[in-house]
Amino acid sequence: MVTAAQPVPCAVSVRHLGPNWYATVMGTAVVATAGTALSPHAPGLRGTLAGVWALSLVLLVTLLGARAVHWAHHRDQARAHLLDPATAPFYGCLAMALLAVGGGALGVGRDWIGVRAAVALDAVLFGAGTVLGLAAAVAVPYLMAVGHRVEPGQATPVWLLPLVAPMVSAAVGPPLVRHLPPGQPRETLLLVCVALFGLSLLATLVMLPLVFGRLITGGPLPLALTPTLFLVLGPLGQSTTAVGAFADVAPGVLPAPYSQGFGVLAVLYGVPVMGFALLWFCLATAHVLRARRHGMPFSMTWWSFTFPVGTCVTGAEALGRHTGLVAYAGPAVVLYAVLVAAWGTAAVGTVRGLLRGELLAGPGPGPVAPRPATARTTSGAVR
């Protein structure tokens, strides 16, 4: 029997539920959205994708409820997450989870809930996700500057998370444009998405050299953090997806020559950026294989293999649409296969960790990310 002095069991179970658990929502939703463009070539795939999107919606609602309990019963732990430089950047995942599910509603969820409900759900989640994403993009770097006292040697790809959230808004916002009244409303939303694209892109260009420089001069990341190298693919693939979405909706919304200019931008920007994404994919894969040989165990950072790869799928799909080249359509299919395999691996590991009570047992390689190392890491690094 639970006494008045004891917290309820539900509150106990979520004490160490960190904001990076929203990555499970992001990774699940992107499986549905990234596969949408492939569905015409694979009979029956779209129905499966709608089911995967529904699962992401269930996960989102469940996590929102669990995090509400966390804030209500463990406010001290929630504040500690904000003041921890290893955990605070994950608050960007909340915004991206909302945006990913919202974008999926209009892309494939409409098959189950109808277009009107999908537009309404997407509009609500897009608005909430954009506001929270902008708040995270300001608040987290501010806390890092005035409260966290971080050093260049602590830089990890996790620092990019709050800065990528506005880019996700930029990528999922354009499909809503066609559902607004013609004229100023459509043009305004499209240009807001372009502004969000620029905001996130410039912030990423400032932060990425710190991450790359730390990797080259500081040595490999700790084993448990090595999967986060794939987070760098997020802004690369998502920005390519965004410019492709701008080009899709600009005709009829913006006057010439701006509408045609977005079609040019989709190719001239997307081709070199996806080239760098390929370079980083190979570099990150090499580091992960090395870490795996040194005993890298499963942790929640393995979800880094999902959403960022999914953005590269949608980016390659966008380039395939705007160039007509099989050179992009083919890799999109290959990357999607990698995404599905990564999602399955991360999902199985998460379920196993929950059943064993390992992932919610306390700080460590579970929900709260391991603290970055400040010195060159050896094979015996944090696991």
Give tens-digit pLDDT for 195-226.
999 999 999 999 999 999 999 988 899 999 99
Q: What is the CATH number of the domain that holds 90?
A: 1.50.10.150
Place of tokens 């020559």: 257
- Once rounded to an integer, what is the mean pLDDT over residues 270-275? 96
pLDDT at 363: 52
Question: Is 371 domain-assigned?
Answer: no
The whole-number pLDDT of residue 362 equals 62
pLDDT at 74: 83
Buried b / exposed e over 91-105, threshold 16 CB at 10 Å, is bbbbbbbbbbbbbbb
**How confident is residue 383, by pLDDT bands cut at 50, 70 and 90?**
very low
Helix axes 92-104, 115-143, angle to 10 degrees: 160
Residue 346 near residue 311, CB atoms below 8 Å: no
Tell me whether residue 70 is in a domain.
Answer: yes
pLDDT of 86 reads 85
Higher-confidence residue: 84 or 320?
Answer: 320
pLDDT of 246: 97
What does the block give as tokens for 164? Answer: 């990528």
Is the separation of the CB atoms in 214 and 195 below 8 Å? no
Q: Is the per-residue pLDDT at 316 higher than 50? A: yes
Which pLDDT does position 381 carry in this prediction? Answer: 35
Q: Tell me if 249 sits within 8 A of 177, measured CB to CB.
A: yes
Identify whether 364 is part of a domain: no
User: Which pTM value belongs to this model?
Assistant: 0.89
- Please report whether residue 282 resides in a domain: yes
Query: Among candidates 327, 324, 239, which has minimal Cα distance to 276?
Result: 239
* DSSP secondary structure, 63-83, as one string: HHHHHHHHHHH-HHHHHHHHH
* Cβ-proximal residues to 56 (8 Å cutoff; 6+ apart), any chain: 25, 28, 29, 32, 100, 101, 104
Q: Could you give the count of Cα atoms lying within 13 Å of 119 in the half-sphere of its Cβ?
A: 9
Please report which confidence band the pLDDT of residue 280 belongs to, taking 50, 70 and 90 as the band edges: very high
* Cβ 123 vs Cβ 145: under 8 Å: no
Q: Bridge-partner residues for 251, per DSSP?
A: 254
Q: What is the pLDDT of residues 161-186, one digit of tens each?
A: 999 999 999 999 999 999 999 999 99
Reported confidence tier of residue 337, pLDDT bands at 50, 70, 90: very high
CA–CA distance, 329 with 309 (Å, rounded to integer): 15
- Higher-confidence position of 40 and 237: 237
Q: Is residue 150 assigned to a domain?
A: yes
The whole-number average pLDDT for the span 2-25 is: 68
Asked which of 192-206, 270-284, 356-370 is least confident by mean pLDDT, the reply is 356-370
pLDDT tier at 42, thresholds 50, 70, 90: low
Residue range 227-246: average pLDDT? Answer: 97
Q: What's the pLDDT score for residue 59?
A: 97
Look at residue 34 in the predicted model and tell me its pLDDT: 94
With a pLDDT cut of 90, the percent of the chain lying above it is 71
Domain coverage including residue 65: 9-356
How many other CB atoms are found less than 10 A from the CB of residue 73? 17
CA distance 381 to 291: 10
**Percent of the chain whose predicted confidence (pLDDT) is above 70:** 90
Give residue 12's pLDDT. Answer: 44
What secondary structure letter does DSSP report for 381?
A: -
Whether omega before 257 lies within 30 degrees of 0, making that bond cis, reads yes
pLDDT for 84 equals 85
- Are 239 and 318 contacting, i.e. CB atoms less than 8 angstroms apart? no
Residue 10's contacts (CB-CB under 8 Å, 6 or more residues apart) are 69
pLDDT at 357: 82
Is 51 part of any domain? yes
Distance of CA 109 to the CA centre of its chain: 19
Under 8 Å between Cβ of 218 and 197: no
Tell me if 374 is assigned to some domain.
no
| Within a domain: 366 | no
pLDDT value, residue 172: 97
Least trusted range by pLDDT, from 15-24, 126-135, 148-157, 295-304: 148-157
Q: Which H or E element spans position 216?
A: helix 184-218
Confidence at 83, pLDDT banded by 50, 70, 90: confident
- pLDDT of 259: 86
Total of domains in the chain: 1
